[in-house]
Structure 1
Amino acid sequence: MHKTLVCVAMSFAVVGCATPLTNYQPTIQKISEPPINSVNEAYVGDRMLSQGVVTEREALYFPVTQKTSFQHTIQQGYYPKRGEDAEYIQYGISNESGAGKIIDGPLSDPTQSVTLRKSDNAICMFTIYNMNVDCKTGLDFKQRNWTTAEANSFQQTLIYNGKVGSKVNIGYREFSGDMARPAFSNAVEYDLDDSRQIGYKGALLDIIDANNQMIKYKVLKNFNTQ
């Protein structure tokens, strides 16, 4: 009884006390793509090779910034799933690239996650006091899978930068988690009149065709994959 009274007193527009839901586990997987021996095309600015570790998880995606019925602002972006029960699905607030943020009003308790109420698809704010508050139906959102670079993982990519004369320009970038590391970026030119095979840091490609808009190539090796 005492707990219920505290919940009601600490905020208005309150749905009620609840429990943080943390029973969801995302999928973590290594990627090395495109596959070895596959033939692919890439346009200027596209990734030709990627290797690293990614996390795939369910998420709420808000395509535009929106306000709730009280004084919270839901910014555009992704909110990763944390867990669910029979009534609610909870989505967290992340610092990853592409994630959205919640802006609390001056009279609001701090928000720790976003809740989707299953019965009517209402979006609620889940506060640090474990209450679902300020629930609103009719907001524009989608449930999507969200793939991000695994925190502290090492990502490598090759990017096509175009062709001048007989030379193609290939960009190499390293990422730590989801953040580009400029000190570990590079661009290399390859003269196709010398060889149709180009390599960098263990990756090996056979160039079938190239111009200043696109490149067609066969993957012989990825960065550390035979």
Structure 2
Amino acid sequence: MPTHEPTRPADRDPGPLLDFRVDDNVDEQTSEAFYRLIGVNEDMLDPLAEHHSADNTRSFYVLFDRTATWDHPGVPQYVALYLQRDHQRRTFRFEQAPLPLPSMAQSWLIHRGCPPESIALDPERGTVPADEATRALEQRLMRDGDHYALGWSYTRDDPDDWVTLATLRALDERAPSPFRVVVEEVDIQAGTHTLREGGFETVQEALKWCEGRLSGTGKALPPVKPAPSHSRPASAPKPAPDCSPGRSR
């Protein structure tokens, strides 16, 4: 269990409290489920981005979950939340997903109908990209996130080595480097982060690299092989692989 207070979002005025706009709901079953998954930790959820439709029937949130630091080691620290309201019936539905990177949360919301330009992260609420390579990869993960299946991930929020590892599998079986590892490293003092991607032929190779990175014996990320000019994305998603490693650390 970490002994430090989580500090990923910038240590600044938290701004207004979250408003999920479901106070008039009369569906007790949905309300109980929402409270159990989201509401119980509402005061520990920092909104990094949110968007509401003009008619207030849909809302999209990227949330940083400060309770994750006291959960099992390695759990994702971001939550993507999608709300749909029926004002006439005074009911609502919701979907939520814990994800290891904010760009993945943005992608999850975009593919549920959120306009990409409306879910940009608030630069005052977290670290910022350290370089153009990071910005480019974040944009690609937002745009093409549905081309990959997320497998195993691990977040270490040690201020001396704040790192997130995410293993992905390309849904197109013809894709070069079918397994990817995305690595985010955070410099808390500078308030910046870098994001890099490596390519692997098998899930075993990808997970072995991750174990090396966490133990301090990792090698440089192998580059992703370039895609052939005739390559096209798969027409339909396929199930995610079993990316569970033999051990967490």
TM over 0.5, shorter chain:
no
Instruction: Kindly indicate which of the two structures has a greater share of residues assigned to strand.
Output: 1
Instruction: Kindly indicate which of the two structures has a greater share of residues assigned to helix.
Output: 2
Q: Which has the higher contact order (CA 8 A, sep 6+)?
A: 1
TM-score scaled to structure 2, two decimals?
A: 0.24
TM-score scaled to structure 1, two decimals?
A: 0.26
Higher Cα Rg: structure 1 or 2? Answer: 1
